[in-house]
Amino acid sequence: MKIRVLKGVRDILPTEITQWNFLHKQAGKVFSRYGYKQIIVPIIEESGLFTRSIGQQTDIVEKEMYTFLDKGNRSIALRPEATASIVRAYLEHNYSHTGLTKFFYSGPMFRGEKPQAGRNRQFYQIGVEAIGSYNPFLDAETLNLAIEYLKEIGIKNFNVLINTVGSSEDKQNFSRKLKAFLLPEKNLLCENCQSRYERNVLRILDCKSKSCKKMLKNAPKIIDCLSQESLKDFAVFQNALELLKVDYILDPYLVRGLDYYTKTVFEITHDKLGAQNTILAGGRYDNLIEQLGGPTTGAIGFACGVERLLLAQKAESFTANIASKQSIFAIGLGAGSYSRIFKIAHTLRKNSISVHLDFENKSIKAQMRQANKLNCSHVLILGDDELKDDNIIIKYMDKGTQELIKISALLEVIKRELTP
């Protein structure tokens, strides 16, 4: 039997790469405007990093994390997300002495969940982390950055949802209240939520099942359980969003799946993506740095799913308007001419010109067909007759014309032709 790609994992083919690279390039451009610097963290980490940060009672740690024992019997995980790794790196390299530190990253993440449209087992995220401040103005800046990035990559039909989950004490108080509210009808919750009730009751707010949604209609709201400080921070955040003219929807039931979130949380959803419509999500994680052995430090970040960004772009019929690089097809007919064109191709490539060459001794007709298929802008034809007189034929594919020129003039002619 043929070996096929794993379930929930996919190849990203050359046809998608222009768009793919565009997404990444624009991310770097927009993020650096806000002072973010790129960081690359490993794909494997000690499993403990994630169990300690994301939380034991979360879907990721309970069901989705890919872990294995290495030869030294250490438990290693394929990273399910990057925030924990970045905080680890932040502490390991003593960034905590340098004030506000802003990182951006991109790369593959791994979660063993049920594959479906927009949900893969290996998927890619682009994200930012700003570590070193509790100021809610930073929350507004971060969310605004997310929005600016989406606009920059041609995505427009999205909704910005915000909420606060409060400090960790607020979260605990609220969890107690929510449990009390749900208790009388606990057995009407979906199976998943019945176990969430014990393990991580906040996650019930995130349940998509109709019956759970119905039960939650009159559920207590986090906002009514907040301390004065959390309330004030949330108000400052919203005021700052208004200063930046950010359109948002306050969703009092918005929560995030990982334990480390505190206070500000947000999600950006896309109108046309169906069930997996969250293209970007983030929030504050003011306890995480301390939890991983660092000083108490405020921090906030977000991550977007690259596959979902691509789907959103597609839904909006956006294609990156990037001129494809012009290229040359070089044909040598006969042994002597082939050796010569082989050398000419080398010279052109050294001058940053993209050149295709046949290696199968194909007929001129077959090679012309190939040049058309590759959308080459020019074809060079060198036969023994031309070679004898140090000439070469250059075909201008756009115009459908051709010209005999001196081989010695070729480089200059092509350079002139390819200058935009």
The sheet with strand 67-69 has its strands ordered as: 44-46, 75-78, 67-69
* Nearest Cα to Cα of residue 83 among 142, 144, 10, 8: 142
3-state secondary structure of 356: strand
Nearer Cβ to ligand ATP (113/316): 113
Residue nearest to ligand ATP (CB): 305
| Residue 62 sits in the site that holds ligand ATP (CB under 6 A) | no
| Residue 125 sits in the site that holds ligand ATP (CB under 6 A) | yes
The first and second tokens of residue 217, run together, are: 């209609």
Element (DSSP H or E) covering residue 281: strand 278-284
Q: How far is the CB of 150 from ligand ATP (least distance, A)?
A: 12
3-state secondary structure of 234: helix
Q: How far is the CB of 205 from ligand ATP (least distance, A)?
A: 12
Nearer Cβ to ligand ATP (58/238): 58
CB within 8 Å of 419: residues ≥ 6 apart: none
Cβ(78)–Cβ(44) under 8 Å?
A: yes
* Nearest Cα to Cα of residue 382 among 415, 404, 398: 404
| Residue 123 sits in the site that holds ligand ATP (CB under 6 A) | yes
The first and second tokens of residue 192, run together, are: 């998943």
Among 147, 304, 345, 371, binds ligand ATP (CB under 6 A): 304
Among 24, 119, 179, 356, binds ligand ATP (CB under 6 A): 119
Strands 44-46 and 354-357: unpaired
Stretches 16-24, 186-194, 247-255, 298-306: which one binds ligand ATP (CB under 6 A)? 298-306
Cβ(263)–Cβ(226) under 8 Å?
A: no
Nearer Cβ to ligand ATP (80/332): 80
Stretches 100-108, 116-124, 159-167, 319-327: which one binds ligand ATP (CB under 6 A)? 116-124
Q: How far is the CB of 151 from ligand ATP (least distance, A)?
A: 17
Cβ(336)–Cβ(385) under 8 Å?
A: no
**Among residue numbers 73 through 102, which ones bind ligand ATP (CB under 6 A)?**
81
Stretches 33-41, 193-201, 277-285, 345-353: which one binds ligand ATP (CB under 6 A)? 277-285
**Among residue numbers 308 through 367, which ones bind ligand ATP (CB under 6 A)?**
308
Whether the CA torsion 337, 339, 343, 348 is positive or negative: it is positive
Nearer Cβ to ligand ATP (256/340): 256
| Residue 257 sits in the site that holds ligand ATP (CB under 6 A) | yes
Stretches 69-77, 305-313, 343-351, 372-380: which one binds ligand ATP (CB under 6 A)? 305-313
Q: d(Cα 231, Cα 242) in Å, to the nearest integer?
A: 17
| Residue 280 sits in the site that holds ligand ATP (CB under 6 A) | yes
Whether the CA torsion 27, 29, 32, 33 is positive or negative: it is negative
Q: What are phi and psi of 4, to 5 degrees?
A: -115, 165
Q: d(Cα 24, Cα 225) in Å, to the nearest integer?
A: 40
Plot region of 307 (φ>0 → left; ψ -120 to 50 → alpha; else → beta)? alpha
Stretches 66-74, 242-250, 271-279, 369-377: which one binds ligand ATP (CB under 6 A)? 271-279
| Residue 278 sits in the site that holds ligand ATP (CB under 6 A) | yes
**Among residue numbers 227 through 256, which ones bind ligand ATP (CB under 6 A)?**
256
- Using CB under 6 A, list all residues that contact ligand ATP: 81, 111, 113, 118-120, 123, 125, 256-257, 276, 278-281, 303-305, 307-308
